[in-house]
Every structure is written in C-alpha cells, then in structure tokens.
C-alpha cells in the first residue's frame, strides 16, 4: 500500500465510510489546480462531484427539516436550510474531518493557504458527499450528512446563525498578500464560572481588532468581526 492509499484509509476512518470504489474519493479530493498542473495524466477533478454533492446535501437537509419541523412554513424552512448548507458550515465540517490534509492542490494553491481556505474546503466537502452517494446510495449519503452536520442542524434550529468571522478575516487579509495573524488574550475578568475574556487580534504584530466573550473562542470571533469592520472602513 503506497502513501496515498494509506492517507485514503486514514480519511475513510474519519469519514466513517469505506469506499468500495476509491476512484470517487480520489476525484473528490482533487482540486482543478492540481489537475491543471498534471494535464498529461488526464486527472479528473472534483467540480462535477461538487455539483452532485450539493444536490444530495440539499435534499438530505430538506427531507430532514420537512419531517422534523411539521409546523414550520416553507419560507422558514428555506431560511433554516440556507444556514445549514452555507459555505461556512461546510468548511467547519471539513475542518472537523481534517479534509484539508488530504486535498490534492496545485503548488500555487498550497502556497497561498488553499488547505485552509473556506471556499476550497466547502467545495471539497460537497464533493465528498457526492462521492459517498456514487459509491453507495442516497440513504448512506444522507446518514453521513445528518451525522456530520448534527451540531450545525441543532444550532440552526435554536436560532443560532453560523458565522465564522475568523475564517472570513483570514481570507480577507490573504487577498492583500501574506500576513501573520495572531489572537492574544489581553484581559480576563470574573470568577471561573462567569469569566469574561478579552482578546486582541494582531496582523503582523499590529493590533487590528478586539472582542470579548464568555469563552476564548467567542472572544476570538468577536475580535475577528471587529477587525473586519475596521479594515473595511
């Protein structure tokens, strides 16, 4: 078994799905930039699987919401589905599954942080859903979707809109060139069970935004949002 096959085996364990035909997961993990750099090898990349996976994802979530939320009108169901299947949510699931580690990217994409870019991760996640569908059936693909998106679905039903401001800030800054972004705790207040964290986000050692929260993660998100607002002024 070569190193690529070992990587796929590792990913299968993370996904909870063992592929009967691994060609589908090979395609799902291949970005167009990699295929373009290896044109002589006629390598297939993941855009067609992404198209299919988007439909499988949408139907899986739609069917679930339709069955579980019988009193919700069509307009509210549509809004709820949009929150669950958005790019940020897909990228979050991809990061949880460490999908970025397994992607085949062109050199340019790798050098500019492609393995962590939300858009690339979201597309890859849809492609993986499409790959599981092609390798098995809709029932299996739907079970995978509902399992991996469980927390996002629960949060959406509780009215929590998923926004990843840290990723948005990272991508916004990357458009202007390479920068080092750091988050540092600058203040803590209150007892342990009611602690408030204040965090500042730095770009190349220059403070660009601050935020507070009951957890470091919440404070980091608020700091990133503050930085985005400052940078966009």
Residue of 50, 54, 123, 168 marked catalytic:
54
Within 10 Å of residue 203's Cβ, how many Cβ atoms?
A: 17
Say whether both 82 and 133 belong to one domain.
yes
Dist. CA 94–CA 84, nearest whole Å? 14
pTM of the prediction?
Answer: 0.71
Say whether both 145 and 172 belong to one domain.
no
The answer to whether residue 155 is catalytic is no
Domain end point (choices 99, 132, 157): 157
The answer to whether residue 126 is catalytic is yes
Residue of 87, 123, 126, 200 marked catalytic:
126
Count Cα atoms within 13 angstroms, Cβ side, for 142: 11
Full domain range(s) for residue 114: 3-157
What pLDDT, in 10s, does the model give residues 81-115? 988 998 888 988 999 999 999 999 998 888 877 88
Say whether both 137 and 192 belong to one domain.
no
Say whether both 194 and 147 belong to one domain.
no
State residue 172's pLDDT score: 84
Residue 1 scores a pLDDT above 60: no
Find, among 193, 192, 170, 190, the residue nearest to 181 by Cα: 170
State residue 26's pLDDT score: 96
State residue 194's pLDDT score: 66
Q: Which residue has the higher pLDDT, 203 or 79?
A: 203
Confidence of residue 215 (pLDDT cuts 50, 70, 90): confident
State residue 155's pLDDT score: 85
Q: CB under 8 Å to 208, separation ≥6 — which residues?
A: 201, 202, 227, 230, 231
Domain end point (choices 134, 157, 180): 157
Say whether both 152 and 174 belong to one domain.
no
Say whether both 186 and 76 belong to one domain.
no
- For CA atoms 7, 56, 27, 85, give the dihedral sign: negative
Contact yes or no for 161/82 (Cβ under 8 A):
no
Say whether both 33 and 90 belong to one domain.
yes
- Least confidently predicted of 33-42, 56-65, 204-213: 33-42
């Amino acid at each position: 078994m070569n190193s690529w096959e070992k990587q796929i085996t590792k990913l299968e364990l993370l996904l909870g799905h063992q592929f009967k035909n691994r060609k589908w997961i090979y395609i799902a993990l291949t970005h167009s930039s990699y295929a373009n750099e290896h044109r002589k090898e006629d390598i297939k990349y993941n855009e067609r699987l992404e198209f299919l996976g988007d439909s499988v994802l949408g139907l899986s979530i739609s069917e679930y919401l339709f069955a579980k939320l019988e009193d919700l009108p069509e307009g509210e169901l549509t809004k709820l589905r949009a929150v669950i299947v958005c790019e940020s949510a897909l990228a979050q699931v991809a990061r949880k599954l460490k999908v970025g580690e397994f992607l085949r990217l062109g050199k340019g994409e790798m050098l500019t942080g492609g393995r962590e870019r939300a858009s690339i991760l979201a597309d890859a996640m849809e492609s993986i859903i499409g790959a599981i569908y092609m390798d098995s059936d809709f029932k299996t693909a739907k079970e995978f979707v509902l399992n991996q998106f469980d927390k996002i679905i629960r949060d959406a039903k509780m009215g929590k809109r998923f926004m990843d401001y840290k990723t948005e800030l990272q991508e916004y800054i990357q458009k202007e060139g390479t920068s080092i972004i750091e988050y540092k705790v600058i203040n803590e207040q209150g007892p342990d069970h009611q602690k408030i964290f204040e965090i500042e986000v730095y770009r190349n050692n220059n403070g660009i935004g601050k935020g507070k929260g009951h957890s470091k993660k919440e404070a980091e998100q608020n700091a990133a949002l503050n930085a985005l607002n400052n940078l966009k002024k």
